[in-house]
Structures are given as C-alpha cells and as structure tokens.
C-alpha cells in the first residue's frame, strides 16, 4: 500500500511544491493536512479527496496519533518550529520527514533524534539534492575519480530576499540568515562532493545592518572548510544576489553544476585535459521530490535509516554553529 503523509504547514513549500508531487509517487500519498488556517486546510483537503477528519490545526495536531491513515509527518514549517513538530510527531508514533535546516541548534537536533529513536520511528531531512539526478551523477563521478584526486570545491547559493517582514529574516523563527536557508546547500555540497567530513572552518560575514532586511540576521556569509585529505571547500550564501553553483576541482579535471540545486533545470559539465563537455545524467528527468517522498516511505515500511537521516542533519547544524562562531570570533574553529 502507499504510505500516508500528513503535511504540516500549508505555505509555499508544503502546499505549492510538495503536495502536487504525490500524484507521481509510487509509495506515497497525501493523507492529512495540518494548518493554522482552517479555511485553507479544508479547501486543500477537499481538492485532494481527504476526509474532513484528516484536517488538523496546530493545537489539535497531537490527535494525529489516532489516525492510522497517517504514517509519516512532513514538517514544512519555519525553521524554529521543526524540533517541536518533529518531537510531537514522533510521540504520536509517526515517522518524520523534516525540512532543512533540520533545526536551529545542535541541542534541538539531538532532541529530535532522541525522540524518534525512543518512538522507534525513522527521521529524514528534506535534503532533496540527494535524489536529484545531476547531483547524484556528480557524486558518482567524484567518487569514481573522474576528476582525479579532489583538491577543491566551491559552492555558492543565494537569492534576493525582498520582504523585510519575512519569517526568514526574523531570527526567532529562522535561527539565522542566508546560512540557515541557502548556505545549507553549499555546506551539503562541500560534504557530498568531497565525501569527507571537515576538520576546521574559517568564516566571515558581511551584512549591511542599515538595510531594514538585515536588522536580525546575516546577508552574506563566506566560509572555508578544511578536509582531512587536504582538500579545501570555499562556500558562500547570501540574501542579496541570486546564485546557485557547485564546482569541484581535482588534479585531473573538474565537475561543475550551474544551476546546481534548483527544483528543475539543473545543468552539469565535466572537464578533463582542457576539454569541457556537458553531461546529461542518467534518468535526468527523474523527480527529486518523488525520489525523496518514496525513499522515506520505503524506509518507514522496512524500518531502515534514510540516506539523509537526522544524524546527517545534525552534522550540518554542528558545522553551522562553528561557522557562526568563527565569523563572530574572527578565528578558525576546529571541528
Ligand atoms: P512559507 O512561509 O511559505 O510557509 C510557512 C508555513 O508555516 C505557512 O503555512 C505558515 O502559515 C506556517 N506558519 C506557522 N506558524 C508560523 C509562524 N509563527 N510564522 C510564520 N509562518 C508560520 O515558508 P516555506 O518557504 O514553505 O518554508 C517552510 C520550510 O520549508 C522552511 O524550513 C524552509 O527552509 C523549507 N523549504 C525547503 C525548500 C527545499 O527546497 N527543500 C524550499 C523552500 C522551503
């Protein structure tokens, strides 16, 4: 049978991006919605043929424990709410798929992992790049030595944040600025392209605090990761320009993606001996969203740890905390 998902938060990502993807899933279906807006929630439920009993508010979310139709809770809320809803979902006996960033502190990530472990439920983070054909092919090529010994990775992610009132710019809801939102992609890329865990980070921040968007959170953050092999990653995120790029350089060639981690339209090149060529990955049209939803459903069915588990989200938030500390203190932080 297809596993039932409850989508928590009918905002842009939950409603516009995720819900339509169930139509193409093999193992996943929409089973419930959780929202603070009862009119919107009832409308979405009706559009998708859900029983009105499968509509929840944040206040009565815990009743979801009594709904056997819901196997997995997908948390699509502002970052500071990820921990609370993941833990409540686990206590209700549900598996959890939680959006990135996993949470806004290491302590929260640890509490989420502990809650899911205690409930014997799986926890996955919405790292869709691990299901995106170009990124998967780039990882495969990097691992099989297509670029030779990996020496350097660069990754930049950003978009122009317009509305000064957006929750992404309110520290209590976002946990931080561009690093929490887009920098996570650059950090992930540095880790999955090298296949290594960083041992040190050096970061610096540049934010115009007179700009009404940036009274609480950072605009640009730029950081260097050092890896045990000697490889270096130079990463960046920003809220004042659009960018979406991953570059890997080895001693025999390069792998480049631009755009690298968009919802669609990603492109990839490899270069060796001075010759650049565009790469069409196998199954280039396979949906990263469907891949992600069905992977979680299969992991829930077989009680197997997802390839991007809570432990993977926690690794990133540990590094995020080190990046902020390095930028604040103006020195290299060992990991
Ligand atoms: P959004 O603002 O469009 O939606 C947020 C939802 O949370 C809304 O339905 C809003 O009503 C609800 N909400 C509940 N309490 C709230 C509060 N106190 N303040 C603000 N909103 C509140 O945001 P979004 O873009 O859908 O992002 C939601 C999550 O999804 C974030 O964690 C974000 O990082 C993640 N996201 C991931 C991707 C991806 O590609 N993986 C893309 C976009 C967003």
Percent of residues in the chain assigned helix, strand, coil, to nearest 5: 40, 25, 35
Distance CA 223, CA 209 (A): 20
DSSP output for 101-148: S--SSHHHHHHHHHHHHHTT--EEE--GGGG-HHHHHHHHHHHTTTTS
| Ligand 1 pocket member 10 (CB < 6 A) | yes
Which residue has the least CA distance to atom 43 on ligand 1?
Answer: 13
Q: 113, 110, 69: which is closest to 90 by C-alpha?
A: 113
| CA-based torsion, 188, 189, 190, 196: positive or negative | positive
Residue 273 has a pLDDT of 84
The answer to whether the CB of 199 falls within 8 A of the CB of 335 is: yes
Query: How far does residue 328's CA lie from ligand 1's centre (Å)?
Result: 27
Task: List the catalytic residues.
Answer: 100, 185
Rounded distance from Cα 63 to ligand 1 centre (Å): 22
Q: What is the ipTM of this complex?
A: 0.99
Which residue stretches of the chain are H helix?
38-47, 82-91, 106-118, 133-143, 171-174, 178, 184-194, 288-302, 310-329
Binding site membership of 11 for ligand 1 (Cβ less than 6 Å) = yes
For the CA of 126, the closest atom of ligand 1 is 41
Query: Mutate which of 43, 78, 131 to test ligand 1's pocket (most atoms within 8 Å of Cβ)?
Result: 78
Tens-place pLDDT, residues 173-214: 999 999 999 999 999 999 999 999 999 999 999 999 999 999
Residue 22: partners with Cβ closer than 8 Å, 6 or more residues away: 5, 28, 29, 30, 293
In this prediction, the residues of the chain whose per-residue pLDDT falls under 70 are none
> Phi-psi bin for 233: left (phi > 0), alpha (psi -120 to 50), beta?
beta
Atom 9 of ligand 1, nearest CA residue: 11
User: What pLDDT does residue 327 have?
Assistant: 98
Best residue among 12, 173, 313 to mutate for probing ligand 1, ranked by most atoms within 8 Å of CB: 12
| Predicted pLDDT of residue 58 | 98
| 36 within ligand 1 shell (Cβ under 6 A) | yes
Q: Is 225 helix (H, G, I), strand (E, B) or coil?
A: strand
Q: Which atom of ligand 1 is nearest to the CA of 180?
A: 34
d(C-alpha 225, C-alpha 234), whole Å: 7
Would you say the CB of residue 159 lies under 6 angstroms from ligand 1? no
Domains of the chain (ranges; CATH) run 3-126+289-308 (3.40.50.720), 129-286 (3.30.360.10)
């Amino acid at each position: 049978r297809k596993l039932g998902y409850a989508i928590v938060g009918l905002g842009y990502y939950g409603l516009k991006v995720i819900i339509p993807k169930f139509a193409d899933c093999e193992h996943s279906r929409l089973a419930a919605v959780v929202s603070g807006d009862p009119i919107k929630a009832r409308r979405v439920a009706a559009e998708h043929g859900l029983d009105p009993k499968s509509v929840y508010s944040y206040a009565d979310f815990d009743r979801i424990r009594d709904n056997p139709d819901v196997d997995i809770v997908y948390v699509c809320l502002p970052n500071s709410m990820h921990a609370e809803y993941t833990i409540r979902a686990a206590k209700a006996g549900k598996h959890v798929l939680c959006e990135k960033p996993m949470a806004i502190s290491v302590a929260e990530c640890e509490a989420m992992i502990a809650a899911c472990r205690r409930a014997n439920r799986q926890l996955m983070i919405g790292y869709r790049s691990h299901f995106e054909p170009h990124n998967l092919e780039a990882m495969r090529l990097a691992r099989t030595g297509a670029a030779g010994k990996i020496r350097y990775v660069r990754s930049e992610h950003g978009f122009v944040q317009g509305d000064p009132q957006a929750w992404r710019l309110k520290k209590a809801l976002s946990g931080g600025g561009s690093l929490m939102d887009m920098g996570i992609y650059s950090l992930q890329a540095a880790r999955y392209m090298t296949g290594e865990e960083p041992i040190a980070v050096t970061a610096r921040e540049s934010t115009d605090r007179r700009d009404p968007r940036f009274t609480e959170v950072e605009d640009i953050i730029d950081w260097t990761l050092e890896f045990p092999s000697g490889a270096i990653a130079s990463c960046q995120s920003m809220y004042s320009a659009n960018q979406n790029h991953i570059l890997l350089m080895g001693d025999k060639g390069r792998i480049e993606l631009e755009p690298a981690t968009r919802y669609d339209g990603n492109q990839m090149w490899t270069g060796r001996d001075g010759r650049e060529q565009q790469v069409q990955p196998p199954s280039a049209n396979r949906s990263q969203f469907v891949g992600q939803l069905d992977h979680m459903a299969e992991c829930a069915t077989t009680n197997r740890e997802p390839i991007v588990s809570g432990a993977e989200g926690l690794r990133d938030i540990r590094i995020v905390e080190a990046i902020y500390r390095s930028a604040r203190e103006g020195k290299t932080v060992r990991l």
